[in-house]
Amino acid sequence: MNAPAKDYIRDFMTEPVVDPAQAALVIIDMQYATGSRQGALGRRMKAEGSNVTDYRFDRIEQLLVPNILRLRQHFRDHGRPVVHVTLGAALPDASDAPPHMRKLLSSCNNYVGSREHEIIDELKPLPGEHVVRKTSVGAFASTAIDSLMRALGAQQLYMVGVSTNMCVETTAREAADRGFQVTLVEDACGTTFAELHEVTMRNFQRLFGRVTSTAQTLGELKERA
């Protein structure tokens, strides 16, 4: 059997230099609307008798929450920023959101002031942590996250949350195109289908940025602290 062909794109990638003093943790869309089995999406799938989101919620409960907690503790212990990104409308009918987002947001009751919009209790923002609300898939399109990161001296972004192939990936690509060094923490991200998660990770590390595990991330940050 022939060996897999070398991916030529690796020849054009700059080797990143990890600097914990420039690092920030970005936690994306860990809200009840679509990030909890008890939220709107989970209840809807249960009512329909569908198990399509079982993989999603199992992964959130078993991997994402514990790994994000480990990462957050490290960033807090070392005085580095933790930024929560939320998705949601200001109005119940989501008329303030882009047209392609309105049905999702309104169907999930994801608007400011609703339980569905809230970040899940396990990951509630702690004092000193930042929260930015977006109405778009990517955070840079509808928030001031760019200026916030630059004000915080955060050039190296470690991104986690849901959904891997949607809000996480889009935000990560936007950040990379704006000059941030981006790392996706693979076992702290999740989506509805394993193949979407895997393809996203494979594709993102082709030029856009890096993919690591929670253990690798904590190891490299501690080593260079």
pLDDT digit string (tens) for 39-58?
Answer: 999 999 999 999 999 999 99
Q: Average pLDDT over the chain, rounded to whole?
A: 97
Which among 218, 220, 171 is positioned nearest to 66, based on CA atoms?
218
* Percentage of the chain lying above the pLDDT 90 cut: 94
The backbone torsions φ and ψ at residue 112, rounded to the nearest 5 degrees and listed phi first, read -55, 130
Domain boundaries along the sequence of the chain? 18-224
Short-list 126, 127, 176, 134, CA closest to 155: 176
Per-residue pLDDT at 222 exceeds 70:
yes
> Quick one: tokens of 164?
């891997």
What pLDDT sits at residue 225?
Answer: 80
The pLDDT tens digits of the residues spanning 68-92 come to 999 999 999 999 999 999 999 999 9
Average pLDDT score over residue span 154-179: 98
Q: Domain 18-224 belongs to what topology?
A: Rossmann fold (3.40.50)
∠ CA 40-43-47, nearest 5°, is 135
Q: Which amino acid is at 222?
A: K
pTM over 0.75: yes
pLDDT at 185 over 80: yes
Confidence of residue 1 (pLDDT cuts 50, 70, 90): low
Give the model's confidence band at 6: pLDDT under 50 very low, under 70 low, under 90 confident, else very high. Answer: confident
Of the candidates 123, 128, 67, 135, the residue with the CA atom closest to the CA atom of residue 97: 135
Residue 195, token pair as written in the block: 């193949």
The span from the CA of 158 to the CA of 180, in Å, is 10
Q: In the chain, what's the furthest Cα-to-Cα distance?
A: 58
> Which ranges in 108-158 belong to alpha helices (H)?
139-142, 145-151
CA 152 distance to own-chain centroid: 19
pLDDT at 170: 98
